[in-house]
């Protein structure tokens, strides 16, 4: 099932699949939907020794390296790195870089980065390669919390010496630049409360700024779509379908072109369901001739402690097969094993 077909069905039935919580001592607490949790009876020293033995074994024991990295959460991996360097006088990243190759090397190094550093690396890689990878820029900025975006900007400056806003201005142009800079402000409402009157007002503003005028007032779209919460935007989309004869995604598709169209459509997708947004990304990475390993690494690493269980559920619902089945068909050997490991028990 395509993303927007599912989107239309659920807008009609007034369902947003996000924001699951449980009551803990009377307070609503988000449910953990990651696939990688803290490892019980964790010992950074023991893991550092196991990794050293695996790296130095004849031919390198990739299976052991994988089993350690996919069963420790990021905080535990950071502790292993500290102990490894203290004990073996060499950064763990350097040792793995020497021992591993290709996609397995890339994903292991990604797993060793703190989340904000990984985000900064993704943005750097997306802007410094031959031709900017606009999809990655939108993916990162549209799916991270305000605090995570603030951390990203701080880390980017510390590691690469540049202000992220300046990089965006240099590497992109036009309305797309404005959209990215607005997301970088980290002003998105993160509450789960929905203001019905505001949803109605926003729907009318979007109608007047798009369908009901010659040309598009893109600033009106950005003001709303980069500051409202996911639940609030979802209600706005529903109200829009009452104001107009068309859904908002269809309007964006008709009125806009290029990077800004793709950007706003991705914001729509993330507002309705971030897990479904990532499920579609993963499916596209494997549906065509040739597999986009970078996308598989990026999504599974960045979401393994956030919402990968939900992504797996959405993948099955949207495509009538599991993500693990497609990984088995499209990847091989140790890279396949580490991807499956991040997906959790099957």
**pTM, full prediction:** 0.91
Q: Determine whether 17 is exposed, middle or buried from the number of CB atoms within 10 Å of its CB (0-12, 13-18, 19+).
A: middle
Residues 55, 106, single domain; the answer is: yes
Mean pLDDT of the region 237-262: 92
Q: Which of 6-10, 154-158, 206-210 has the lowest mean pLDDT?
A: 6-10
Q: Which two tokens stand for residue 1?
A: 């099932």
The pLDDT confidence band at residue 27, using thresholds 50, 70 and 90, is low
CB 230 within 8 A of CB 18: yes
Residue 282 lies in a domain: no
Mean pLDDT of the region 251-277: 94
Residue where a domain stops, chosen among 184, 201, 230: 184
Question: Percent of the chain, pLDDT > 70?
Answer: 91
Q: Identify which has the larger pLDDT, 23 or 63.
A: 63
Number of domains in the chain: 3
Residue where a domain stops, chosen among 150, 184, 218: 184
Residue 345 lies in a domain: yes
Residue where a domain stops, chosen among 184, 205, 220: 184
Residues 162, 211, single domain; the answer is: no
Q: How confident is the model at residue 156, as a pLDDT?
A: 98
What kind and span of H or E run contains 23? Answer: strand 21-24
Residue 333 lies in a domain: yes
Residue 298 lies in a domain: no
Residues 121, 156, single domain; the answer is: yes
The pLDDT confidence band at residue 8, using thresholds 50, 70 and 90, is low
Sign of the Cα torsion 35, 331, 270, 114 reads positive
**Chain segment 105-148, per-residue pLDDT in tens:** 999 999 999 999 999 999 999 999 777 899 999 999 999 999 99
Residue 260 lies in a domain: yes
Sign of the Cα torsion 142, 148, 154, 159 reads negative
Residues 197, 248, single domain; the answer is: yes
What is the extent of the structural domain holding 127? 115-184
Residue 134 lies in a domain: yes
Residue 300 lies in a domain: no
CA gap 290, 286 in Å, rounded: 7
SS3 labels along 84-116: HHHHHCCCHHHHHHHHCCHHHHHHHHHHCCCHH
Q: What is the CATH number of the domain that holds 125?
A: 1.10.220.10
Mean pLDDT of the region 260-273: 95
Residue 277 lies in a domain: no
């Amino acid at each position: 099932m395509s993303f927007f077909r599912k989107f239309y069905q659920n807008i009609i039935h007034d369902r947003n699949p996000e924001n699951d919580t449980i009551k803990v001592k009377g307070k609503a607490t988000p449910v953990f939907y990651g696939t990688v949790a803290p490892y019980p009876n964790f010992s950074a020293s023991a893991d550092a020794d196991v990794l050293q033995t695996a790296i130095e074994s004849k031919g390198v024991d990739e299976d052991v390296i994988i089993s350690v990295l996919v069963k420790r959460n990021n905080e535990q991996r950071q502790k292993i790195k500290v102990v490894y360097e203290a004990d073996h006088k060499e950064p763990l990243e350097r040792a793995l870089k020497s021992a591993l190759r290709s996609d397995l090397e890339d994903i292991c190094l990604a797993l060793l980065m703190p989340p904000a550093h990984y985000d900064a690396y993704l943005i750097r890689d997306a802007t410094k390669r031959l031709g900017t990878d606009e999809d990655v820029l939108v993916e990162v900025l549209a799916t991270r919390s305000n605090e995570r975006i603030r951390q990203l900007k701080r880390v980017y400056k510390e590691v690469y010496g540049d202000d992220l806003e300046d990089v965006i201005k240099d590497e992109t142009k036009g309305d797309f630049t404005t959209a990215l800079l607005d997301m970088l402000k980290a002003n998105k409402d993160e509450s789960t409360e929905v203001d019905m009157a505001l949803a109605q007002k926003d729907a009318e503003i979007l109608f007047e700024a798009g369908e009901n005028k010659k040309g598009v007032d893109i600033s009106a779209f950005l003001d709303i779509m980069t500051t409202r919460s996911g639940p609030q935007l979802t209600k706005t989309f529903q109200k829009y379908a009452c104001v107009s004869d068309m859904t908002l995604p269809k309007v964006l598709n008709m009125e806009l072109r290029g990077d800004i169209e793709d950007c706003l459509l991705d914001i729509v997708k993330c507002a309705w369901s971030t897990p479904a947004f990532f499920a579609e990304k993963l499916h596209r990475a494997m549906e065509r001739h040739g597999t986009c390993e970078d996308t598989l690494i990026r999504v599974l690493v960045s979401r393994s402690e956030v919402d990968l269980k939900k992504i797996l559920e959405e993948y099955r619902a949207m495509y009538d097969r599991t993500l693990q089945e497609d990984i088995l068909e499209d990847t091989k050997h140790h890279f396949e094993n580490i991807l499956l490991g991040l997906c959790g028990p099957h």
